[in-house]
Structure 1
Amino acid sequence: MSADFQKFKASFGVSWFKAGWAVFKTQPLTFMMMYIFIVIVGLFPFVIPNPIIQMMCALAGPFLTVGFYNAALNIQAGKSIMLADILKPFTTKGRRLNLFRLGLYQLGVALILGVLMSLLFEPVTSALQNHTPDQDMQIVIEQIAQAISFSDIAIFIALQSLAMMAFAYALPLVYFKEQANIFAAMKESLSVFYHNMAPLTVYGGIAALLIILSTPLSLVPLIFIMPILYIGFFVSFQAIFATQSSQSEDGPSQGNKSQDDKDSVTQSGRFDA
């Protein structure tokens, strides 16, 4: 069954980022270590190119992300957190199977997009593979430029964006709202992006700007920036789905917020997940 959700103005994109900062600064080092842990797990498949390890790391992604979200939820509840809290979803009975299923869906979509990318950019790949050390690099660059199709790039970006939007809110819906129907959760996630395009665009703009500003410093500031963005996005989930009550794995929520309290609650960063 479809979940009810709120619709917000563009300015709330800024409010969600501020709320993310408010939660992050409570225990910044712990959140930074959690993000580093997520990155390390994500890089394992590139360091150890073993199909089994690659699959395990891919399926672990949803568990680690909701572990991060649940840590933010505990901070909002006035509790302290530690790095090991990011692993709690692996031991949460009643929710692990759906997270595992969602991970399989994500893995399947990633494989489909990988095949599509190889088909769309096959001429570029061929130009790179046929390159020899004694060949003029300028000629290779010209061949690649001729092989690139901006329409193919646009198609791939559009499909990649749709996939990201489909899973973005589906993940917390599956875990915190216990949505067992993965397709329904993905559909709901896409609907949320459609109806909250303005605030999410503002939030995405803030994220893009911060990432660009970190580029001259070799993206090192992302260790500080990304945890705030993770938390801010989870706050947006809490705000958008604030009409429904649920429970974190550490206890019940404090109750639903009324529509009249929605603005003040959003700005403080405290919602029921």
Structure 2
Amino acid sequence: MSAEFRTFKAGFGVNWLKAGWVIFKTQPMTFMMMYIFLVVVGLFPFVLPNPIVQVLCALSGPFLTVGFYNAVVNLQSGKTIMLADILQPFSAKGRRLNLFRLGLYQLGVAMLLGVAMTLLFEPVTAALQNHSSEQDMNAVMSEIAAAISFSDIALFIVLQSLAMMAFAYALPLVYFKKQANILAAMKQSLKVFYYNMAPLSVFGGIVALMFIASAPLSLIPLIFIMPIVYIGFFISFQAIFATQEPSQGNDDENSGEGEHKTEQEQVGQTGRFDA
């Protein structure tokens, strides 16, 4: 059975990031170390390009991300967190199997996207493979530019975006809402993005601007920014899938606005929406 969810106005994209900052500043170093750990695990397959290492790192991704989210929950509960908390889902009995299955789905989708990239950008790959050091670089770039199709790029971006949206909320749904049906969780995640496109677009737009602002500094500020983004996104999950019923007990527009106002007050005080 799919979990019920709420829809929010565009301004809540900003509120979720603000809530992320509220939580982050309580233990900033711990969250930054967790993010660095995630990055290191993600880059490890490039250091050791071994198929077994690549599969293990890919399958560990959902566990580590949920470990980060779980640290947020612990902090919201008044507990002190530490770096080792990111490994907690590996020992979570009754939930590990579904996280493992979700990791397999992610791995399968990543492989399909890899095949799609190969097929869509085969002319570009051929141009690069046929490049020799004696060739004029301008000629090579012209050949690559001629081989690139805007429609192919747009198609790949759409496929990549759909994959990202399908897994974004599916991960916390599987772990925190105990959704055992992976495909149903992915469908629910896509549905949430559709109905909450306005706040999530604002959220994503602000994150994109922060990426651009970090570029001149070799993206180093992301060590500080990305933990806030992770926390803010999990706050959006808590808000969208909050189990608390609206105080007025109806679904009309006025009650929704009152509910949002209450949630904004909660964010300012606790950093969470379902307190």
1:48-83 CA distances to partner (integer Å, 9 max, x unpaired)? 011000000000000000000000111111110000
**Map of 2:118 onto structure 1:** 118
Aligned residues with identical type, % of pairs: 74
Matching of residues 54-93 of structure 1 within 5 Å: 54-93=54-93
Instruction: Quote the Cα distance in structure 1 between the aligned partners of 2:182 and 2:272.
Output: 27
Cα deviations by residue, 1:18-74 (Å, 9 ceiling, x for unpaired): 000000000000000000000000001000011000000000000000000000111
Q: Which 5+ residue runs of structure 1 have no aligned equivalent?
A: 244-255
Calculate the TM-score normalised by the size of structure 1.
Answer: 0.93
2:24 is matched with 24
The residue number in structure 1 matching 2:42 is 42
Rounded to whole Å, the distance in 2 between the matches of 1:73 and 1:50 is 35
Distance 1:47 1:240 in 2: 38
Q: Name the structure 2 match of 1:8.
A: 8
Q: Deviation string for 1:109-163 (max 9, x for gaps)?
A: 0000000000000000000010000000010000000000000000000000000
**How far apart are residue 258 of structure 1 and its match?**
4.0
**Cα distance in 2, alignment partners of residues 15 and 258 from structure 1:** 19
AA matched with 1:75: L
Aligned-pair distance for 1:267? Answer: 4.5
Report the count of equivalent residues.
261
Provide the rounded CA distance (Å) in 2 between the counterparts of 1:240 and 1:272: 9
Do structure 1's residue 264 and structure 2's residue 268 form an aligned pair? no
Q: CA deviation at 1:271?
A: 3.6
Change (3 A) 1:183 1:267: farther
Give the residue type in structure 2 aligned to 1:159: L
State the distance in 1 between where 2:53 and 2:189 align.
29
Contact 1:16 1:267 in 2 (8 A): no
Instruction: Name the CA distance, whole Å, in 2 between partners of 1:264 and 1:191.
Output: 27
Partner of residue 252, structure 2: none
Give me the whole-angstrom Cα distance separating, in 1, the residues matched to 2:274 and 2:64: 20
After TM superposition, the runs of 4+ consecutive aligned structure 1 residues lying more than 2 A away are 256-269
Q: Partners in 2 of 1:44 and 1:196 — Cα distance?
A: 34
CA RMSD of aligned residues (A): 1.2
Q: CA, structure 1 residues 198+241, in 2 after alignment: closer, same or farther (shift >3 Å)? A: same
Aligned to 1:247: none
TM-score under structure 2 length normalisation: 0.93
Q: Which runs of 5+ in 2 are unaligned?
A: 248-258
